[in-house]
Chains A and B, each alone.
Chain A
Amino acid sequence: MVKRVDFEQMRHGTELLKRGFAKMQEGGVIMDVVTAEEAHIAEDAGAVSVMALERVPADIRASGGVARMSHPDLIKEIIETTSIPVMAKARIGHDEEARILQELGVDMIDESEVLTPADPFFHIAKNNFTAPFVCGCTNLGEAVRRIAEGAAMMRTKGEAGTGNVVSAVQHARLVSSEIKHSQTIGSEGREEMVKIMMEEFRRINRLSSFDLSLNNTPFGTIEEIEAEVSSVLEEISKIGRLPVVTFSAGGISTPADAALMMHQGMDGIFVGSGIFKSSDPTNTAEAIVLATHHFEDASIVTEASAMIGEPMPGLEIETLDVRMEERGW
């Protein structure tokens, strides 16, 4: 998907600038924070960005109900007190929440399954924004669709707010196995993959009692989006990885979890509830940063693991009422 770039005129919000922003996060840890004070703790621990929100996923899960974008005042307060980039979450398909976040000066918008989805058919048309987006994925098809829609960064969904890393591992392994698969089946096989990946863009047709001949999506015509999906998949099979920076998220709560995901080829780590639901957030934050930066050095990961107190309490995936990973498609 290499596009010609015109440098004659000064430009903002290009794909190069959006993906470039994500590249600067490489190797780092992005932490969920709910107050300015927590943002300071995260910054002082070496976070590369903070994710500003009202409640961490574990609390969203516990309280139930509809989870929406955070209050603008909270996001503003965190933006004003932090020197590192600030990200914030919009509901899946909620273009209006995303526009508000962009207006507030959020550096990257997370179209997140941790919040209650707003659109049952389509995700946000991310190419219409100047601010870059990060989106979650559970498999290669989801990743390709989000990138084709304009996401500048991906993360595994994992299962947020559980302190259980198993879903993050599942998603990372699925994505990498499906990438390898795409490399072995030739261009005809990949055309088949594209067809399967395209099905999810036709959800609206499936729900109607009529045979809708609808051809338009928020991202252009079905043909245009199919061409984009195909070109993203071709590039992935050529380079052997996603063409955007890919972090792990959802259930990472210890330094060992972080190192595990880095060893699986992830470019960095999101930690949601894992830090501020632990017994000693400052040390947990520093330890997870240390383990992420030095994941290849077992002695340092061991040292980091000894720095923390009680990790957050964990939940078995099978016992959950709400599986956030199933939101979005």
Chain B
Amino acid sequence: MLQGARHVHIEALNKAAEALNLEIEIHELRKSSDLYSSSPHALVIPGGESTTMRLTGNDPTSQLLPALFKWIRNNPENPVLGTCAGAILLCDPQDGGESLVSAKIDRNAYGRQVDSFQAQLQSSLLGRNFSGIFIRAPRFVSVPNFNQVVVMHSDEAVGVLDSNRLALTFHPELSGDTGFHEWLIQRAMEVNE
């Protein structure tokens, strides 16, 4: 991604790989050509400012976003993790095509930064609680298939898994808990076998 919290995701992925005792290779993508040359098994779309990501990701110099969306549609088996702004892009790609995670999402829906919060979440995907960090976070307005909700904050959906694409409105990369990053790496291994 051209802008956003890349480094904390890289740290979380490295930590997750270490916990799983696996070797992984991480590529930072800035242009469509970076995606083609790295041929990844899994994708992370980090948090940041979704307006900035859309603008510069669609810029002729980069063309990263159209390439990413096309790759995700062509590789439905490969896992994708989108956090915060990344979840917005998955639910609402605004490229004329179908959404990549079928849920309606509202940008910056809890208020301003002073309303940002942390709270305990329940995740059926991990089968345990998870420390949720919400920063100017988006909010799922509607999730058509409730079976796809895999993370809850009391009675509200905050994580949706649509086939292999996981959209989280919070920031697992800031929590020190690598559960979702481990899930991503394990899914990528299964697909690749």
Contacts and interface: CB of A to CB of B under 8 A. Distances in A.
Contacts of A294: 2, 30-31, 61-62
A7 interface: yes
Greatest chain B CB density within 10 A among A10, A24, A105 is at A24
Interface string B129-146: 001110110000000000
Contacts of B84: 24
Dominant secondary structure of chain A at its interface with chain B = loop
Contact of A303 (B47, B61, B114): B61
A27 B4 contact: yes
Interface stretch (B17-25, B52-60, B68-76, B181-189): B52-60
Contacts of A311: none
A320 interface: no
A300 B61 contact: yes
Given A43-B51, A84-B52, A102 B2 contact: no
Q: How large is the interface on B (under 10, 10 to 19, 20 to 34, 35 or more residues)?
A: 35 or more
Contacts of A132: 113
B52 A24 contact: no
Given A10-B118, A11-B119, A83-B51, A27 B133 contact: no
Contacts of B113: 17, 21, 85, 107-108, 131-132
Given A12-B116, A105-B114, A26 B3 contact: yes
A28 B52 contact: yes
A12 B118 CA distance: 7
A102 B115 CA distance: 11
A46 B55 contact: yes
Given A27-B3, A107-B136, A293-B30, A17 B49 contact: no
Interface string A1-21: 000010111111110110011
Interface string A263-292: 000000000000000000000000001100
A44 B55 contact: yes
Contact of B52 (A21, A47, A102, A297): A47
Report, nearest first, the 7 A-B pairs whose CB atoms are least far apart. Answer: A107-B113, A7-B131, A10-B119, A46-B55, A293-B2, A23-B5, A27-B3
Given A11-B118, A26-B48, A84-B52, 4 more contacts: A16-B174, A23-B47, A25-B49, A48-B49
